Amino acid sequence: MKGAYIAVLIGGNTFKWKFIQRDEELIAMLVKLETDFWNHVKDRTPPPLDGSDASMKFLSERFPDSIPKFQITLPDTAAELLLQYDQACEQLESLTERKQKAENLLKQMLGDNEVGTSGDRVITWKSVFQERLDSKTLKAEHPTLYKKYSSKTSYRRFSIKAAV
């Protein structure tokens, strides 16, 4: 087989089709990924963690609450991860500063204007207005209402600092 035709109906009224060439390399890669996935399912072991939102969500759901005041010594491999973390933080800080500088210079060019163009790009700097509930004032002036409509949420804050 040299390939396959793929046909779709978009919005119930627009028909599109395309011929897709068979790609043995892609097929082999997909089969390997599927096999790895299925082995994790059979063994009931989660896949290795990565930097994805899915991994972050998994960890938040798997370990929703910390045990207060409980401390462990991490394995030696943590030192390499801390080095990677620190290097990524430095790179991120530098990139964030570079991005912010470009943004600030573009804002200066826009001045009071809301929209500017450069080639095929459209740059906007719009005024945004929001209404927010002043929870401190509500709590002070109407504590019963505040208590009735407030809710507690929890999450785990991750931080790294030097040991004392």
Residue 101 in domain: yes
**DSSP letter string, the chain:** --EEEEEEEETTTEEEEEEEE--HHHHHHHHHHHHHHHHHHHHT-PPPP-SSHHHHHHHHHHS-S--TT---PPPTHHHHHHHHHHHHHHHHHHHHHHHHHHHHHHHHHHTT-SEEEETTEEEE----------HHHHHHH-HHHHHHH---------------
Residue 157 in domain: no
Number of domains in the chain: 2
Residue 74 in domain: no
Write down the pLDDT at residue 155: 86
Per-residue pLDDT tens for 31-58? 999 999 999 999 999 889 999 999 999 9
Write down the pLDDT at residue 29: 97
- pTM comes to 0.64
Residue 3 in domain: yes
Per-residue pLDDT tens for 11-29? 989 999 999 999 999 999 9
Write down the pLDDT at residue 161: 87
Residue 60 in domain: no
Residue 7 in domain: yes
Residue 39 in domain: yes
Q: Which domain holds residue 94?
A: 86-111+120-125
Q: What is the token pair recorded at 12?
A: 């119930």
Residue 107 in domain: yes
Per-residue pLDDT tens for 124-164? 999 999 999 999 999 999 999 999 999 999 888 888 888 87
Per-residue pLDDT tens for 78-134? 999 999 999 999 999 999 999 999 999 999 999 999 999 999 999 999 999 999 999
